[in-house]
Each structure stands twice: as structure tokens, then as C-alpha cells.
Amino acid sequence: METVLEAATKEANGTVAEKKPTVVFVLGGPGSGKGTQCANIVQHFGYTHLSAGDLLRAEIKSGSENGTMIQNMIKEGKIVPSEVTIKLLQRAMAESGNDKFLIDGFPRNEENRAAFEDVTKIEPAFVLFFDCSEEEMERRLLSRNQGREDDNIETIRKRFKVFLESSLPVIEHYNSREKVRKIDAASPVEEVFESVKVVFTSKDEKAV
């Protein structure tokens, strides 16, 4: 018997693939300002912002069977399988009614990337890469008062290391296909968004 999620995903799969949506992967280290810029892109260009981490957290919160499985994996320090995250992304894409998506914090590694293209049959239009020095990201993370437990210097450095080791191969892969749009994320927020606008406008996006 297939689970409700599997049935919904099958349906979502068909719907999402048929629509041939525009997908933009948003990558950048912790503290590179991805979230802020995604909110700006949503407002100006009508994209739907999907954060892989938020979808996983929401699924855990829902108390579903799938959510419990995800929670147990995270507790045990295991990486949630690509397929699980991809199913959640597909379901959110199908439910959104939109055909333009910013996928934030995914793919985290080469395996995620290959699985996403394989399962969804979708290649991103491009990858928006927020390039920021470790010093600047560290400064930002330490100064933001969100009370996040993971914002201490040791954990921050571990997160940088993981980002570099796992995400750089993804960036290199898309770079070789001329799909990476690199943004200097060290500038003030407004200046960064000016650079972002250039990327989206040159993609023939119409501001909403």
C-alpha cells in the first residue's frame, strides 16, 4: 500500500513535470543573506520561495508518519534522504499554483542535485550563488539576535566547512554549464539586491 504522501507525490510529480516550472536554486553559506534576498525576489518577481529546511521542519511539526521518520533521522545525526526532501519540495510546488520557484538551501550536495534532476526531470534555469567571505558571514551570524542555538563561533565554523565541502561541487557542476550567477553578498542589502535584479531582469523576468 502506498502512503498518502506517496500518492500525493505521484500526482504532484505529474502536475509539476507537466507545468515545466522555472526553478532557481539559491545557494550561499550561513549568514550570506539568502533569506532576505529571497523575500525581495518574491516581492519583485512573483516567485514562490521554498526553503528545504522549513519544509522538513513543517513536516516534523505536522506529526505525520513521515515527519516522525525525519525527526528520528535528524536526532540520530543522519542526513535525511534526498528523495524525502524532493517529495516535500514537489508537493509544495504542486500546491503553490505558481510556476516559478526559488529553492533555498537545496541541493546541499552532488547527490541531492543528481536526485532532484532525476526525480523531477527539472533542471534549474540557473543557480543564484551568494558569495560572501567567512569573516563577513561570521560577523553577521554573531551579531544577529535570533537566539539560535547554532549561532556560536564553533558551530558556525563547522557549518561553513560543511557548506564548502558539500555545496562547492554543486556550484562547480552548474558553473561548467554556465548556469551560475554569482552575487557579491558582502555589500549592504540594497546593493546586493540591485545585483540580484540585474540577474532576474536579464532573464526576461517581468517585475510584478
Q: Kindly report the CATH number assigned to the domain that includes residue 62.
A: 3.40.50.300
Which pLDDT value is given to residue 120? 95
The structure's pTM equals 0.82
Per-residue confidence at 151, pLDDT binned at 50, 70, 90?
low
d(CA 26, CA 37): 10
Residue 208, in any domain of the structure:
no
Residue 183, in any domain of the structure:
yes
Query: Is residue 181 marked as binding?
Result: no
d(CA 156, CA 138): 7
Query: Is residue 96 marked as binding?
Result: no
Which pLDDT value is given to residue 9? 53
Residue 204, in any domain of the structure:
no
Per-residue confidence at 186, pLDDT binned at 50, 70, 90?
confident
Query: Is residue 106 marked as binding?
Result: yes
Per-residue pLDDT, averaged over 118-126, amounts to 95
Residue 164, in any domain of the structure:
yes
Residue 14, in any domain of the structure:
yes
Query: Is residue 201 marked as binding?
Result: no
Residue 152, in any domain of the structure:
yes
d(CA 50, CA 102): 6
For residue 75, CA distances in Å to 54, 84, 157 come to 17, 16, 21
Query: Is residue 139 marked as binding?
Result: no
Domains contained in the chain, number? 1
Average pLDDT, the chain: 85
Query: Is residue 157 marked as binding?
Result: no
Residue 163, in any domain of the structure:
yes
**CB–CB of 89/50 below 8 Å?**
yes
Query: Is residue 53 marked as binding?
Result: no
Per-residue confidence at 208, pLDDT binned at 50, 70, 90?
very low
Domain span holding position 60: 4-198
Residue 177, in any domain of the structure:
yes
End-to-end CA distance of the chain: 44
